[in-house]
C-alpha cells in the first residue's frame, strides 16, 4: 500500500511542476510577397518571435515607430528573413519603409 501512495505522490508532484512551467515561446512567420504581408494582424505572447520572410522579388525594410515598440530590422533582400522578439506587451503597427502600403497590426499579450 505504501508503494502505491508513494507512486501517486510522485506522479502528482511531477504533474504540478509541468503545469507551473511557462509556455514555450513561439515563432510566428509573416511572409512578404507581391509588396504585401500575408496577414493583416498577428496575435502573440510576450517572448514570442515574429519571423518576417521575404518571398517577394523586391527588397523590404520592416520597422515600427510606435512608442514602446520602435525598431528597424533593416533591408531584407528577396529570400532573406528577419526576426523580431516581442518583449513588451501592447499593440503596434509594423510597416515596410520602402512600400508604405504594407502594414500588419501586432497585438502582444
pLDDT in tens, 20-70: 555 567 899 999 999 999 999 999 999 999 999 999 999 999 999 888 889
The residue whose grid cell reads 519603409 is 97
Confidence (pLDDT) at 26: 84
In whole angstroms, give the CA distance from residue 48 to residue 27: 6
Residue 6: its H or E element: helix 2-20
**Percent of the chain beyond pLDDT 90?**
72
The lowest-confidence range among 3-17, 32-46, 67-81 is 3-17
Report how far Cα 41 is from the mean position of its chain's Cα atoms.
Answer: 12
In whole angstroms, give the CA distance from residue 86 to residue 105: 13
Question: Residue 14 pLDDT > 70, yes or no?
Answer: no
Could you tell me which residue, 39 or 18, shows the higher pLDDT?
39
Specify the pTM.
0.76
Domains parsed from the chain with CATH numbers: 24-108 (2.60.40.420)
Confidence (pLDDT) at 17: 58
Question: Residue 9 pLDDT > 70, yes or no?
Answer: no
Amino acid at each position: 500500500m505504501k508503494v502505491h501512495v508513494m507512486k501517486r505522490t510522485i506522479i502528482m508532484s511531477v504533474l504540478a511542476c509541468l503545469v507551473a512551467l511557462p509556455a514555450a515561446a513561439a515563432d510566428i512567420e509573416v511572409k512578404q510577397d507581391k509588396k504585401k504581408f500575408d496577414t493583416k494582424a498577428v496575435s502573440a505572447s510576450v517572448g514570442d518571435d515574429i519571423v518576417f520572410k521575404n518571398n517577394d522579388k523586391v527588397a523590404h525594410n520592416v520597422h515600427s515607430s510606435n512608442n514602446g515598440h520602435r525598431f528597424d530590422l533593416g533591408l531584407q533582400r528577396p529570400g532573406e528573413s528577419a526576426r523580431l522578439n516581442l518583449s513588451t506587451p501592447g499593440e503596434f503597427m509594423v510597416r515596410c519603409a520602402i512600400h508604405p502600403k504594407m502594414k500588419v497590426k501586432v497585438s502582444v499579450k
